[in-house]
A = this chain, B = another copy of it.
């Protein structure tokens, strides 16, 4: 329930305090569970953190009392205070909120919860305002530290081993769900706590649906089968896709596969610090356009990985920047060392089939390291 010992929470909190002071905020109320985990190690599903200039208050309810005591007892994080709320967690936070303007996580707090906070602050006679903030904790999370990279590297290796094993057993006649069971129990056996998202085993026409899951259809000769699965390992998410052929692929399938494979290679070779995320996307997209599959590539090239399976940076087309706001930090648009991302172009032909090839990549000081290492040619099962 707690992963405190491995991480330097003081450093994370210190860097966040610097961002708060730039935004002229006296404190930040953190409600997004991955952000709470990043700042304190607390992995429960219900809780809040109030970060002030000199303290980190973690509040949760009685169900998590034992976990919170363990976090407090581990020490080594002098400014952390834990509170077991008798009633609503928010009510415990309000009396601890310092004077001055306080940020809230506008992307992660519901309008209703925000209004309840506002009313409670007003009732408590607070003078400062609640300021919609965004991306302040995420700005730290986007660059992984050595301890996080070690976890993600290990997770990528384990996920690769699971897929390598399962690919050897895929054959015509197996149902999509049977393959999904094998992937999921394989993940459990090598130490993943849970799938990071609904496992996709999409065969034949279903391979053309980027978000198909796994159904009862038996795999049949001539199918392309998209296997897209991921797991959560010590809190961190990895994500891997291969597309296999049941029996010999026809020339249309071969061409589709070859185009996606070329697109993925082009995007991978663009990954290094200082490169625009949009340039990595364009590297994949231009290959698919040239090969006649531009309209068949209906999603972005990739996304960041970490405590969430989709996090910053997005590897896609440049979007119009949001209007600047006092306490809102935008997602980075340039790669930097320590980012961990997926590279996963795909092409989908409705009614016929599809291909997606995905790997996880660490941006290093000089280029990139692949975290997943399954063979990337078209495997015939």
Residues of A within 8 A of B (CB): 1, 44-45, 62-67, 104, 106-115, 132, 134, 177, 180-181, 184-185, 188-189, 191, 193-195, 198-199, 208-214, 298-299, 350
Interchain nearest-CB distance for A263 vs B (Å):
17
A208 touches B66 (CB 8 A): yes
Q: List 12 A-B contacts (CB under 8 A).
A: A45-B211, A63-B299, A66-B208, A104-B111, A107-B111, A107-B112, A108-B110, A110-B110, A111-B111, A181-B188, A185-B185, A193-B213
Give chain B residues whose Cβ lies under 8 Å from the Cβ of A194.
195, 198-199
Given contacts A185-B185, A188-B184, contact A212 B1 (CB under 8 A): yes
For residue A214, which residue of chain B has the nearest CB?
B193
CA of A188 to CA of B178, assembled, Å: 8
B184 touches A193 (CB 8 A): no
A209 touches B106 (CB 8 A): no
CA of A88 to CA of B327, assembled, Å: 23
A198 touches B193 (CB 8 A): yes
Give chain B residues whose Cβ lies under 8 Å from the Cβ of A209.
1, 66-67
Interchain nearest-CB distance for A185 vs B (Å):
5
Interchain nearest-CB distance for A37 vs B (Å):
14
Give chain B residues whose Cβ lies under 8 Å from the Cβ of A106.
110-112, 115
Give chain B residues whose Cβ lies under 8 Å from the Cβ of A66.
208-209, 350
Given contacts A1-B212, A63-B210, A208-B66, contact A132 B112 (CB under 8 A): yes
CA of A350 to CA of B329, assembled, Å: 42
Interchain nearest-CB distance for A5 vs B (Å):
15
Contact residue among B62, B134, B185, B299 (Cβ-Cβ distance under 8 Å from A181): B185
CA of A213 to CA of B194, assembled, Å: 10
CA of A113 to CA of B109, assembled, Å: 10
CA of A134 to CA of B62, assembled, Å: 27
A188 touches B177 (CB 8 A): yes
In the A-B complex, the 7 residue pairs with the smallest Cβ-Cβ separation, listed nearest first, are A106-B112, A181-B188, A62-B298, A106-B111, A185-B185, A111-B114, A107-B112
Give chain B residues whose Cβ lies under 8 Å from the Cβ of A115.
106, 132
Interchain nearest-CB distance for A19 vs B (Å):
17
CA of A195 to CA of B185, assembled, Å: 12
Interchain nearest-CB distance for A299 vs B (Å):
6
